[in-house]
């Protein structure tokens, strides 16, 4: 009991700090979850926020418009136009999932918190009110000192890799003109042999495809494909379909050529 009275006396003697609200607004952190703001120009009606909302408190309506074809050429395109975007803050639990899943940065957290109502049904706010709160969204905080820059910026400022070329060896220093000429001739001969070795397989392939083999020549000309009733060539079924015909039903056994025929019951068997 004495410890409790000591705490009470200590707070009584301490100077009180009273915030004069609403004349003086509190200094809230930059990432305070006050209300969800909407940037209508960024919304593409992808419906991700409404699908991922665990409380189903987001309502979206839209329609499609056809854009005319550009003058330079092309075709008309269709786009979604946002008609309604409403959030029922009487159901919202301020989890922030809708803001995280939005792929086009159309939803943001705003530190605004003065939107209390006397009737709970008035907490359903449409896109006009949500758009007004977008002006109260604070700018993102600056990066920490010494932190790595974003990957998007580092990739955009990175120079393109230079192409590697084979170095051309010149004549050695102090070499005579005859030695330099012999070295250049040897390099040209080596490059020509590389080209010839690369062209030989292609020439052999063309020669093999152009000239028929002796076995094919002995068979004679290829038979023409069978034609249908209209004179069009008949297409043979693929290998898989031809194999289906030979499949036996389950439980059936192959018939032996020497086995006697099966006897049937009834008058058909007596015949």
Note whether 222 and 233 are within 8 A (CB): no
Note whether 35 and 112 are within 8 A (CB): yes
- Asked whether residue 121 is domain-assigned, the answer is yes
For 124-140, what is the mean pLDDT?
92
Residues 6+ apart with CB under 8 A from 32: 109, 111, 113
- Asked whether residue 157 is domain-assigned, the answer is no
For 127-146, what is the mean pLDDT?
88
- Asked whether residue 85 is domain-assigned, the answer is yes
Q: Is 0.85 surpassed by the pTM of this model?
A: no
Note whether 96 and 34 are within 8 A (CB): no
Q: Which pLDDT value is given to residue 31?
A: 81
Angle at CA 49, nearest 5°, toward 45 and 54? 150
Query: CATH number, domain at 51?
Result: 3.30.70.3270
Q: Which two tokens stand for residue 211?
A: 């000239």
For 144-162, what is the mean pLDDT?
72
- Asked whether residue 250 is domain-assigned, the answer is no
For 13-18, what is the mean pLDDT?
83
Locus of tokens 């943001």: 108
- Asked whether residue 229 is domain-assigned, the answer is no
Q: Which pLDDT value is given to residue 128?
A: 94
Residue, of 152 and 145, whose pLDDT is higher: 145
d(CA 260, CA 256): 9
Q: Out of 11-15, 39-43, 254-258, pick the least confident.
A: 254-258
Q: Which pLDDT value is given to residue 160?
A: 66
Task: Give pLDDT tens digits for 95-113.
Answer: 999 999 999 999 999 999 9
pLDDT greater than 60 at residue 116: yes
The confidence band for 264, taking pLDDT boundaries of 50, 70 and 90, is low
Considering 30-39, 178-187, 194-203, 218-227, the range whose residues carry the highest mean pLDDT is 30-39
The confidence band for 47, taking pLDDT boundaries of 50, 70 and 90, is very high
- Asked whether residue 93 is domain-assigned, the answer is yes
Mean residue pLDDT of the chain comes to: 76
The three-state DSSP-derived secondary structure of the chain is CHHHHHHHHHHHHCCCCCCCCCCCCCCCCCCCCCEEEECHHHCCCCCHHHHHCCCCCEEEEEEEEEECCCCCCCCCEEEEEEEEEEEECCCCCCCCHHHHHCCCCCEEEECCCCCCCCCHHHHEECHHHHHHHHHHCCCCCCCCCCCCCCHHHHHHCCCCCCCCCCCCCCCCCCCCHHHHHHHHHHHHHHHHHHHHHHHHHHHHHHHHHHCCCHHHHHHCCCCCCCECCCCCECCCCCHHHHHHCCCCCCCCCCCCCCCCCCCCCCHHHHC
- Asked whether residue 208 is domain-assigned, the answer is no
Of residues 128, 50, 127, 54, the one with CA closest to residue 91:
54
pLDDT greater than 70 at residue 8: yes
Instruction: Name residue 64's beta-bridge partners.
Output: 80
If one counts the domains in the chain, the total is 1
For 56-67, what is the mean pLDDT?
93
Q: Out of 59-68, 69-78, 119-128, pick the least confident.
A: 69-78
- Asked whether residue 20 is domain-assigned, the answer is no
Q: Which pLDDT value is given to residue 90?
A: 94
Q: Which pLDDT value is given to residue 228?
A: 58
Note whether 87 and 68 are within 8 A (CB): no
The residue count of the chain comes to: 271
Domain that holds residue 94: 32-68+76-136
């Amino acid at each position: 009991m004495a410890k409790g009275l000591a705490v009470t006396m200590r707070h009584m003697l301490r100077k009180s700090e009273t915030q004069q609200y609403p004349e003086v607004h509190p200094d809230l952190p930059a990432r305070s979850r006050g209300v969800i703001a909407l940037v209508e120009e960024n919304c593409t009606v992808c419906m991700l926020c409404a699908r991922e909302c665990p409380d189903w408190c987001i309502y979206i309506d839209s329609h499609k418009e056809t854009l005319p074809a550009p003058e330079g050429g092309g075709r008309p395109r269709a786009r979604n136009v946002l008609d309604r975007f409403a959030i029922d803050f009487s159901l919202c639990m301020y989890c922030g999932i809708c803001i995280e899943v939005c792929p086009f940065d159309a939803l943001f957290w705003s530190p605004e918190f003065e939107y209390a109502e006397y009737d709970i049904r008035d907490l359903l706010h449409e896109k006009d009110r949500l758009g007004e709160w977008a002006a109260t969204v604070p700018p993102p905080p600056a990066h920490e000192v010494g932190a790595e820059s974003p990957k998007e910026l580092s990739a955009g400022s990175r120079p393109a890799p230079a192409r590697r070329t084979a170095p051309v060896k010149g004549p050695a220093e102090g070499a005579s003109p005859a030695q330099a000429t012999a070295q250049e001739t040897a390099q040209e001969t080596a490059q020509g042999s590389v080209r010839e070795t690369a062209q030989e397989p292609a020439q052999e392939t063309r020669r093999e495809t152009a000239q028929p083999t002796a076995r094919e020549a002995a068979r004679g000309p290829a038979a023409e494909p069978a034609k249908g009733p209209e004179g069009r060539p008949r297409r043979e079924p693929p290998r898989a379909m031809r194999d289906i015909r030979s499949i036996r039903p389950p439980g059936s056994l192959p018939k032996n050529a020497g086995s006697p025929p099966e006897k049937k019951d009834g008058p058909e068997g007596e015949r």
